[in-house]
């Protein structure tokens, strides 16, 4: 059937028809009409974190990782040293891209089932004075654990080290307010909780560090200082913008505001998460994390305990029913993941639970 499947993945995700329709128009990248869209988006994004006084926001072409790489590469000086608080795959990726950009990165590793520990960070900062910045993944999409933003931010402030936050999968859904926390850079992207299409990221940067960023970048295209300066001067993106993606994000942001902003979005995702976890519990599928660590962004489930189970067949059968799942990202235990985000509500969640039940019954019968 020529109908979109429901994406239960942490981006790209299911978007509304209104968002998709916004991509049907061509825009000139130098044109004043397009520059107006960029300007409005930047202002709306800053409003979400109440950051107009102390922060700027710089959009960047590419997938979310491009923006994380741009942030590390633009904020850290060449002799900077980033301590990454590690409880999963995206943390390790941040350390890898930091090394690729020629900076020193150290991992402070924790159990991937649990949030990172502020006390351990404190000890690390006391014992190693060469650390200039801390890298934190707000919601570690690998297992779905939420990390303690405020506590980590307070410690970084106390020790006078910079903080770079990958808030890719949390921004827009979980509360992040610039008046409560301080950071040097915070990164997210169009195709996550803002429920638009993938293709661009954006980085909030504290105004107080902007000038110190000049000349840090080891890359021409991923230089946030230059991207910012050029945009301020001309209203344009420095290199070709993903015009259709920008137009879609503008429309998605309007819907975000109409829905009631971050609190309303979080409420819907919580409802999705509860419907999913309760529904799957009834058919014997248990979450990998303890209940208190589950975040209504993405939930990791232990693979069903059938001999016949393998993820690929399960995935394909659920896809036949109209739902796209996400593989697990844990190395030692077999799991699969289900996203709670996107333009979906508890109805789609009830439907996917019913589909998984049907598929597992079929799989168990065919011995």
Ligand X SMILES: *Cc1c(COP(=O)(O)O)cnc(C)c1O
Kindly write out the interface string for residues 12-51 of this chain, putting x where it contacts ligand X by CB under 6 A and - elsewhere.
----------------------------------------
Give the 3-state secondary structure of residue 131. Answer: coil
Task: Pick from 13, 82, 131, 137 the residue near ligand X by CB under 6 A.
Answer: 137
**Residue 153: CB minimum distance to ligand X, A:** 17
> What is the C-alpha separation between 244 and 241, in angstroms, rounded?
9
Binding span for ligand X by CB under 6 A among 57-65, 70-78, 318-326, 330-338: 57-65
Contact between 11 and ligand X per CB under 6 A: yes
Q: Of 120, 126, 178, 177, whose CA–CA distance to 152 is shortest?
A: 120
Question: Could you say whether residue 300 binds ligand X (CB under 6 A)?
Answer: no
The nearest distance, CB 68 to ligand X, in angstroms, is 6
Task: List CB contacts of 105: < 8 A, sequence separation 6 or more.
Answer: 81, 82, 83, 84, 94, 95, 96, 98, 99, 135
Residues 170-229 that bind ligand X (CB under 6 A): 189
DSSP string, 291-359: GGG--TTEEEEEPP--TT--HHHHHHHHHHTTEE-EE---SSS-EEEEE--SS--HHHHHHHHHHHHHH
Nearest to 316 by CA among 348, 356, 366, 365: 356
Q: According to CB under 6 A, which residues from 68 to 87 bind ligand X? A: 68
Q: Using the rule CB under 6 A, is 96 a contact of ligand X?
A: no
Closest distance between ligand X and the C-beta of residue 281, in Å? Answer: 25
Show the beta-strand stretches assigned E in 121-199: 133-137, 139-140, 145-146, 162-166, 185-189
Q: Is 166 in the site for ligand X (CB under 6 A)?
A: yes
- Interaction of residue 355 with ligand X, rule CB under 6 A: no
CA quadruple 211, 212, 213, 218: dihedral positive or negative? positive
**Quick check: 131 binds ligand X (CB under 6 A)?**
no
Residue with nearest beta carbon to ligand X: 64
CB of 232 to ligand X, least distance (A): 26
Q: What letter does residue 92 receive in the DSSP assignment?
A: H
Query: Residues 6 or more apart from 75 whose CB is under 8 A from it?
Result: 133, 162, 164, 184, 185, 205, 209, 213, 216, 224
Shortest Cβ 90–ligand X spacing (Å): 4
Based on the shown chain and the rule CB under 6 A, indicate whether residue 168 belongs to the binding site for ligand X: yes
Query: Phi/psi class of residue 366: alpha, beta or left (left: φ > 0; alpha: ψ in -120 to 50)?
Result: beta
The two three-digit tokens of residue 300, written as one number: 């990791």
65 binds ligand X (CB under 6 A): yes
Task: Specify the stretch interacting with ligand X by CB under 6 A; choose among 1-9, 39-47, 60-68, 277-285.
Answer: 60-68
In 3D, which of 87, 183, 102 has the Cα closest to residue 144? 87
Q: How many CB atoms lie within 10 A of CB 99?
A: 12
CB 335, min distance to ligand X, A = 16
Nearer to ligand X, 63 or 243 (CB): 63
Q: Identify which of residues 166 and 184 has a Cβ nearer to ligand X in the complex.
A: 166
Residue carrying the six token digits 């109440």: 50
Among 169, 190, 196, 275, the residue binding ligand X under the rule CB under 6 A is 169
User: Smallest distance, Å, CB 69 to ligand X?
Assistant: 9
Q: Out of 34, 55, 90, 228, which residue is the one contacting ligand X (CB under 6 A)?
A: 90
Q: How far is the CB of 138 from ligand X (least distance, A)?
A: 7
State the number of binding residues for ligand X (CB under 6 A). 13
Does residue 59 belong to the site contacting ligand X (CB under 6 A)?
A: no
Q: Are 80 and 250 in contact (CB under 8 A)?
A: no
Using the contact rule CB under 6 A, the part of the chain among 49-57, 123-131, 161-169, 262-270 near ligand X is 161-169
Residues 258, 46: Cα–Cα separation, whole Å: 17
State the residues that interact with ligand X by CB under 6 A: 10-11, 63-65, 68, 90, 137, 141, 166, 168-169, 189
């Amino acid at each position: 059937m020529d109908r979109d499947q429901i994406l239960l993945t942490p981006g790209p995700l299911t978007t509304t028809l209104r968002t998709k329709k916004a991509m049907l128009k061509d825009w000139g990248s130098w044109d004043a009409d397009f520059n107006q869209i960029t300007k409005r988006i930047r202002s709306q994004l800053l409003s979400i974190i109440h950051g107009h006084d102390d922060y700027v926001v710089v959009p960047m072409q590419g997938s979310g990782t491009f923006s994380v790489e741009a942030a590390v590469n633009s904020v850290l000086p060449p002799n900077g040293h980033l301590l990454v608080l590690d409880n999963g795959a995206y943390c390790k990726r941040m350390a890898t891209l930091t090394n690729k950009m020629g900076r020193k990165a150290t991992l402070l590793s924790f159990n991937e089932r649990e949030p990172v520990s502020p006390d351990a960070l404190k000890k690390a900062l006391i014992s190693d004075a060469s650390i200039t910045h801390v890298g934190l993944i707000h919601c570690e999409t690998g297992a779905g654990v939420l990390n303690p933003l405020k506590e980590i931010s307070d410690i970084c402030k106390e020790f006078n080290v910079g903080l770079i936050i990958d808030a890719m999968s949390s921004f827009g859904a979980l509360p992040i307010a610039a008046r409560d926390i301080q950071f040097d850079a915070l990164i997210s992207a169009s195709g996550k909780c803002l429920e638009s299409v993938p293709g661009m990221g954006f980085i909030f940067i504290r105004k107080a560090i902007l000038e110190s960023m000049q000349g840090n970048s080891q890359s021409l295209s991923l230089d946030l200082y230059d991207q910012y300066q050029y945009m301020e001067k001309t209203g344009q993106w420095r290199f070709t913008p993903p015009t259709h993606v920008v137009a879609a994000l503008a429309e998605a942001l309007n819907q975000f505001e109409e829905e009631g902003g971050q609190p309303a979005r979080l409420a819907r995702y919580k409802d999705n998460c509860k419907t999913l976890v309760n529904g799957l519990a009834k058919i014997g599928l248990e979450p990998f994390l303890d209940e208190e660590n589950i975040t209504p962004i993405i939930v990791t489930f232990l693979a069903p305990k059938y001999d016949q189970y393998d993820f690929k067949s399960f995935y394909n059968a659920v896809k036949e029913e109209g739902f796209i799942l996400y593989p697990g990202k844990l190395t030692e235990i077999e799991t699969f993941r289900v996203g709670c985000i996107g333009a979906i509500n508890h109805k789609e969640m009830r439907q996917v639970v019913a589909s998984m039940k049907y598929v597992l019954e079929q799989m168990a019968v065919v011995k």
